[in-house]
Chain A
Amino acid sequence: MNRKSLWIILSALIMASLLLSACAPAAAPAPTQAPAQQPAEPTSAPEVKSTEAPAQPAGEVTLRWRTRPDNKEETGVYASVSDELAKRLGFGLKYEPGGSESSSYQDVLKTEIAAGTAPDVFWIPGTDVADFATRGLILNLGEMAAKTQDFDVNNFYAGPMYHLTYNPETDKTGADSGALWGLPRDVSTFALYLNLDLLNEAGAPDPRELAKEGKWDWGVFLAVAKQVRALGSDIYGYGANAWWGPYGVWLNAAGGGFFNEDRTACALNTPESLKGLEFEKSLYKAGEDVAVPYGEDSEPPFRAGKVAMFQNGRWATPGTRQVDFNWDVVELPNGPSGTPGNWLFWGAYAVNPKTPHPEEAWKLVQALTEAETQGKIAALGANIPSRVSQEALDTFLTLTPPTNNQAFLNGIDPKSQPTAEGPLWAGSWPEYDAIMGPAVQAVITGDKSLEEFAKTICDEANKVFK
C-alpha cells in the first residue's frame, strides 16, 4: 500500500470517526442555579394527577418545552424550574428558550410546527390561540382535563379561560365546552410608570395620591402631563408605544372597543370608541402635545429621565429597576366609562398535537401553571401569576420595587373590568390589526380626520370576518 493510499484511508477513517462521535447522544444539561430571589412564601402546589398510564415507561420519556422569556434572568429560572419539574414528574424535560432580536419567536415556532420538529409543549400569545386551534396546530386538552381530578378552569382568570375553552364547533365556552387549548402562563396589565423626580420638579400632584382619592381621571391626567411638558421641549408628560395595547385602553375606557360584544364585527366607529381615540389624539402633536411623538419608542426617553408617565406592562419592570431616578407605578386614569379600560394580557402553554406523549405533556402544562412555578417566575418582576389565588397575589405585592404593586392588581381586578387580550375566532386578528393600526396612527398624527376614520374604518376592517 503506497503512502497516498494510506493518507486517503487515514483521512477517511478520521472523517468517519468524526461522524461517529457526532452521533453521540446529547449530554444532559447541567442544572442551572436557582435565582437568589424567591417568593417569600411559595404557594402550595396542587398535586398533578395522572389521568391514564403513560404510553411508555416514564423513564424513557423526554419532553421538549419552550417559552419566550422576557429577559435573560428568566431563561435561567425557566431552566431551573424545568430541572425541578423533571425530578418531580418522573420524566425528562428539555427547556428551550425562544425568541431574539433577529428571530421572531412565533416565526421559528410556526416553521418548526410545519416541519414537524416543534417542541411537545410551547407557549403562544393569547391573540394566536384561535389561529393555532382552528388549524389543528395545538391539541385540544378538553378530554384529558375532564378526566383529571381537582382540575378546575376557574382556578385561572376568567378572561383568558373564556378564549382557552372556546369551542369553535359549538360556539360554547367554559368548563363544559369540550375544548381546552392550553393554560395561561401568566397575566399582565398596563400601569403608568412614574418618574417621581420629574413630577416633583414640575410641581405636579402625585398621581398615586390622586388615584387613592379617586380623583385620577382623564382630565387630571392631562393636567399633570401638561405641567411636566412645560419643563422643556425635550421633556414629555406621557409616553407609550405604537401598538394596539396602548391605544386600545383609551377606546375601552371611553366605553368603546375594537369589536362588538360577540367579537364578530368592527366597533371602531362607535361614538364611544371615537371619543377614546379623540382623547388619545389630544395627547399628541395634533392636540396638546404632551406625549412622546407617536411611533417613537418611548422606553429609552423614559429611562433617560425625560418622560414623567410611561404606559407599559409589568414586563417593563425589570428594565425600569435599572434607572437612577425615583420611580413607582400608578393605575391608568379612569375614563368616561368610570374604568381605566385596561387590558388583561396573557399567553398560554399549549400542547403540540404531534407529541407522542400527550398525557405527559398535559401534566407538564399543569405543573408549569401551578402557583409555585408561577411564583418563581413572577419573582423576577416581569409578570403576574395567572391563578386566581390570594396567596399568589399577596406574594406578588412583596416583589418590590415598584412600591405600588397594587396598581397592577387593580388593573386586573374584575372590578376594573379589564378586557382580556384575545384571539378573533370569527376572523383574522393579524389582518384586523394590520388595518386598524395604520388607520389609528393616521388619526393620531393628523394624516386622517376622525370623521373620515369613522366613515371608512369598519368598511375595511369588517372584511376580515368570516
Chain B
Amino acid sequence: MTATAAALPHLSEDRHTTLWLNVAVLWHAGFALLLAASGIFLLVSLADSTIPIATGLRVFLIALSLLGGVSSACAAIFITRRDQRGRMLSLVINYLGFVVCLAFDLHILGVYVGLDVLAGTFKYGLPFLLLGFIGYLIGAWGDRHEDFPQRQQAYRRLSQTISLIAAGLWLLSVGLLEGLRALLQQFNSPLPFILTAGIAVFAVLLRAVGRRSVAEALHTKRQHEETLTGLLFLSPNLLGFLLFFAAPLLFSLLISFTNSDAFNPPDWVGLQNYQHLLNVTIQPLSSSTQLANEVLDVKIYNELARFEILGQSYVIGAQDKLFWLALRNTLVYCLMAVPVSVIPALLLATLLNSKLPGMKLFRAVYFLPSVAAIVGIALIWQWLYNSAIGYINYFISLTVNFANSLFNAGWVDPKLQWLSDSNSALIAIALMAVWATLGFNIVLFLSGLQSIPRDLYEAATVDGANPTQQFFAVTVPMLAPTTFFVLTTTTIQAMQLFEQVFILSNPLGGPNNSTLSLVVYLYQNGFQRFRQGYASATAWVLFIVIFGLTLFQYRRQRSSSGAYEG
C-alpha cells in the first residue's frame, strides 16, 4: 500500500463527532428538500410569464436545483452509511454554497461598487500609510541593535504602536465609519439577512464536516484528503474558469442558434445562422465579363469571386459575402504574419543566444514592443503610415531623391498608400503586428535554446558538423516543442486579429473590406448591427477553424518529433 492510499487512523466515533454527522445528515436532507421545492416551483413557473426571470435562466436554475438536490441527498445517504463519498460531496456542496452566498451577499451589500469608492478615497489615507511606513522603518532600525536587546525591544514597541495607530487612522480616513454605516443601511430587506445566514450555515457545516474526527469516522483515506486539498487550491481558478470562460462559451453556443439581439427575448432559429454564414453557390458564366446578378439569385446571393476552369468562367455567390471575405483576409493575414513572426524570431534568438558583449541590451530592445499596449502602438503606426505626412513615406522620398540626385537613377517616388490601398493595407497591418510580436517569440526561443544540452553541440563539432549543419541537425529538432508552442500561440493570435484593424483601418475593415477580419466582423454584427446570435455563430466557426489549425500543427509536431526520436 502506498502512503497516499493509506487510510487515516480510525478511532472510534465519539459523541461529538456523531452529533456533527447527524447534523450534517439533517442539513443535507433539508437542503435537498429545499432545492427540490425550488426546482418544482421554477418548473411550475415556466408557464408563468409574469415572473421577471428569462426562460433560459429558469431552465438553468431548474437544472441546477435538480443537480444540487440530488447531490445533497446523496451526501446525506452516504454520510448515514459512513461512506467517505458523503464527506466529499458535503464539503463540495457546502464550499460552493458558501462561495455563492458570499458573492451574492457582497453584491447585494454593494461591496463591489464600494471598491470603486475606495479607489476614490484611497488618496486621503496616503499620509497615514506614510506614517505606517515610518513605523516600519523604526522597527527595521531597531533590528540593527542586536547587541542591546532592551533598546531593540523599545524600538519594536514604538514601531508596532505607530503602525497600529497609522493603520487605524488610515482606515478611518478612507471611510471605515461611512462604510460601516452604508453597509448597515443595506440590511433593509430579508435578502441580505438570508444570504448572511447562508454564509454562516455553510461555513459551520464546512468546518464541521472538515474536522479530522469526521474524516476518520467516514473512513477517509489520505488520497481523498489530498484530492480535496488539491481541489480547494484549484477552486479559485476553476470557479473563475467555469464562471467567466466556460459558461459564456456555452452560452454563446446556445445563442448562436437564436436570433438574439442581446436586448430582447430571442427566438430559436436552429442552424439558420450557420446556414446563412456558409451558404454558397457556384454558377457558370457565359463570358468572364458577364454580370453576376444575371446568373445569381440576387435576393439571396452576392458575388464573392470568379474563376475560370478549362476556358469556362464561373462565379461564386455567397449569402454572406462579408463572412467569406473576412475568413479569406484572416487566413491571408495568418500566412503573412505567422512565418514572419516565427522564422526571424528563431534566427534572431540564435544570434542573441551568443555570448557577445551587449546582447542583453539587444534582447531588451527586441522585447520592448511586446511590453507596449497594442492600442498605443497602433496609433503611432497609423501616423507613421500616413501617405501624405508619415515618416515612412518621408524616408522613402528622401532615399529616392538622394538616389536620383546622386546617380541620376530616375526612380519614381512610389508615395505608397499603406493603409488606404486595398492591396497594401493588410500587409501594413501584418508588418506592424510582426514588429510587436517578434520580441516575445524571441524570448520564448531563447529559453528553448538555453535548455539544449551543450554536449550535443560538442558531439556535433567532434563529428565535423559546421554551424549551419548544427543549426539544422541539433537546434531545430531540439527546439521542436518550443517551435510548436510559438507557432500555435502566434497562429491563434493572428486568427484573432482585431485591435490593429480597429485602430488602423478607417472605415473599420477598409479599404474595400480588405482588412475585415473574422473577429472584426463578429464585433460588427454583435455590437453594431444588433445580431448577437449571428455573431456567436461566426465566433463558433472561427473556433472550429482555429481548433482545426491547432490540431493540424499538433499532429505535425507529434509526427516530426516521433521521427526524430525514432
| A residues lining the B interface (CB < 8 Å) | 14, 17-27, 101-102, 104, 106-107, 110, 113-114, 131, 135-137, 233-234, 236, 241-243, 292-298, 300-301, 304, 306-307, 428, 430-431, 434, 437-438, 441-442, 445, 447, 452, 455-456, 459-460, 463
Complex contacts, B386 vs chain A, CB 8 Å: 296-297, 300-301
A307 to B382: give the CA distance in the assembly, Å.
19
Q: Does B415 contact A (CB under 8 A)?
A: yes
Q: Give the top 8 A-B pairs by smallest Cβ distance, nearest first.
A: A295-B420, A24-B175, A22-B114, A24-B178, A301-B388, A23-B114, A21-B179, A20-B179
A457 to B388: give the CA distance in the assembly, Å.
31
A455 to B291: give the CA distance in the assembly, Å.
8
Extra contacts besides A22-B111, A113-B263 (8): CB < 8 Å = A23-B111, A135-B261, A296-B386, A300-B388, A307-B388, A438-B512, A442-B512, A447-B512
A335 to B223: give the CA distance in the assembly, Å.
85
For the complex formed, measure the closest distance between the CB of A464 and the CB atoms of chain B, giving whole angstroms: 10
Complex contacts, A21 vs chain B, CB 8 Å: 114, 118, 121, 171, 174-176, 178-179
Complex contacts, B178 vs chain A, CB 8 Å: 21, 24-25
A295: which of B176, B293, B417 is its contact (CB, 8 Å)? B417
Q: What are some 8 contacts across the A-B interface (CB < 8 A)? A: A23-B110, A137-B263, A292-B387, A295-B510, A295-B511, A437-B507, A438-B511, A460-B302
Q: Does B96 contact A (CB under 8 A)?
A: no
B413: which of A27, A135, A233, A292 is its contact (CB, 8 Å)? A233
Q: Are A19 and B111 in touch, CB under 8 angstroms?
A: yes
For the complex formed, measure the closest distance between the CB of B405 and the CB atoms of chain A, giving whole angstroms: 16
Q: Are B524 and A295 in touch, CB under 8 angstroms?
A: no
Give the residue name and chain of the B residue nearest to A117 (CB). Answer: B113
A110 to B174: give the CA distance in the assembly, Å.
33
Complex contacts, B53 vs chain A, CB 8 Å: none
A17 to B183: give the CA distance in the assembly, Å.
11
A298 to B528: give the CA distance in the assembly, Å.
25
Complex contacts, B264 vs chain A, CB 8 Å: 135-136
A296 to B339: give the CA distance in the assembly, Å.
29
Give the residue name and chain of the B residue nearest to A433 (CB). Answer: B507
B176: which of A20, A136, A304, A438 is its contact (CB, 8 Å)? A20
Give the residue name and chain of the A residue nearest to B393 (CB). Answer: A234
Q: Are A22 and B291 in touch, CB under 8 angstroms?
A: no
Q: Does B527 contact A (CB under 8 A)?
A: yes
Complex contacts, A17 vs chain B, CB 8 Å: 171, 176
> Provided the pairs A106-B528, A296-B387, A445-B422 are in contact, do residues A437 and B167 lie with their beta carbons within 8 angstroms?
no
Interface residues of B in 93-114 (CB under 8 A from A): 106, 109-111, 114
Q: Are B114 and A24 in touch, CB under 8 angstroms?
A: yes
Q: Does B208 contact A (CB under 8 A)?
A: no
Q: Does B262 contact A (CB under 8 A)?
A: yes
Complex contacts, B421 vs chain A, CB 8 Å: 293, 295, 445
Give the residue name and chain of the B residue nearest to A113 (CB). Answer: B263
Complex contacts, A438 vs chain B, CB 8 Å: 510-513
> Provided the pairs A22-B118, A428-B529, A463-B299 are in contact, do residues A296 and B388 lie with their beta carbons within 8 angstroms?
yes
Complex contacts, A292 vs chain B, CB 8 Å: 387-388
Q: Are A456 and B303 in touch, CB under 8 angstroms?
A: yes
> Provided the pairs A23-B114, A131-B530 are in contact, do residues A437 and B510 lie with their beta carbons within 8 angstroms?
yes
Interface residues of B in 107-149 (CB under 8 A from A): 109-111, 114-118, 120-121
Give the residue name and chain of the A residue nearest to B499 (CB). Answer: A102
Q: Are B118 and A18 in touch, CB under 8 angstroms?
A: yes
A106 to B523: give the CA distance in the assembly, Å.
12
Complex contacts, B524 vs chain A, CB 8 Å: 430, 434
A441 to B293: give the CA distance in the assembly, Å.
20
> Provided the pairs A234-B388, A296-B420, A463-B299 are in contact, do residues A106 and B121 lie with their beta carbons within 8 angstroms?
no
Q: Does B375 contact A (CB under 8 A)?
A: yes
Complex contacts, B422 vs chain A, CB 8 Å: 445, 447
Q: Are B511 and A441 in touch, CB under 8 angstroms?
A: yes
Complex contacts, A25 vs chain B, CB 8 Å: 117, 178, 182
Q: Are A456 and B512 in touch, CB under 8 angstroms?
A: no
- C-beta contact mask, B252-271 vs A, less than 8 Å → 1, else 0? 00000000011110000000
Give the residue name and chain of the A residue nearest to B164 (CB). Answer: A10
For the complex formed, measure the closest distance between the CB of A66 and the CB atoms of chain B, giving whole angstroms: 16
Q: Does B419 contact A (CB under 8 A)?
A: yes
Q: Are B388 and A236 in touch, CB under 8 angstroms?
A: yes
A114 to B175: give the CA distance in the assembly, Å.
32
Complex contacts, B327 vs chain A, CB 8 Å: none
Q: Which of A136, A292, A438 has the most CB of B within 10 A?
A: A438
For the complex formed, measure the closest distance between the CB of B167 and the CB atoms of chain A, giving whole angstroms: 7
Complex contacts, B415 vs chain A, CB 8 Å: 233
For the complex formed, measure the closest distance between the CB of B313 and the CB atoms of chain A, giving whole angstroms: 16
Q: Are A459 and B510 in touch, CB under 8 angstroms?
A: no
Give the residue name and chain of the B residue nearest to A452 (CB). Answer: B291
Q: Does B383 contact A (CB under 8 A)?
A: yes
For the complex formed, measure the closest distance between the CB of A324 and the CB atoms of chain B, giving whole angstroms: 15
A296: which of B109, B116, B167, B417 is its contact (CB, 8 Å)? B417
Give the residue name and chain of the B residue nearest to A115 (CB). Answer: B262
Complex contacts, A14 vs chain B, CB 8 Å: 167, 171
For the complex formed, measure the closest distance between the CB of A168 and the CB atoms of chain B, giving whole angstroms: 15
Complex contacts, A106 vs chain B, CB 8 Å: 527-528
Interface residues of B in 65-116 (CB under 8 A from A): 106, 109-111, 114-116
- C-beta contact mask, B316-350 vs A, less than 8 Å → 1, else 0? 00000010000000000000000000000000000
Q: Are B510 and A242 in touch, CB under 8 angstroms?
A: yes
For the complex formed, measure the closest distance between the CB of A94 and the CB atoms of chain B, giving whole angstroms: 13
Complex contacts, A19 vs chain B, CB 8 Å: 106, 111, 114, 179
Complex contacts, A294 vs chain B, CB 8 Å: 420, 511
> Provided the pairs A21-B121, A24-B179, A438-B513 are in contact, do residues A293 and B417 lie with their beta carbons within 8 angstroms?
yes
Q: Does B200 contact A (CB under 8 A)?
A: no
Q: Are B117 and A22 in touch, CB under 8 angstroms?
A: yes
Complex contacts, A431 vs chain B, CB 8 Å: 529
A365 to B73: give the CA distance in the assembly, Å.
56
Q: Does B180 contact A (CB under 8 A)?
A: yes
B263: which of A135, A295, A441, A442 is its contact (CB, 8 Å)? A135
Q: Are A24 and B121 in touch, CB under 8 angstroms?
A: yes
Q: Does B42 contact A (CB under 8 A)?
A: no
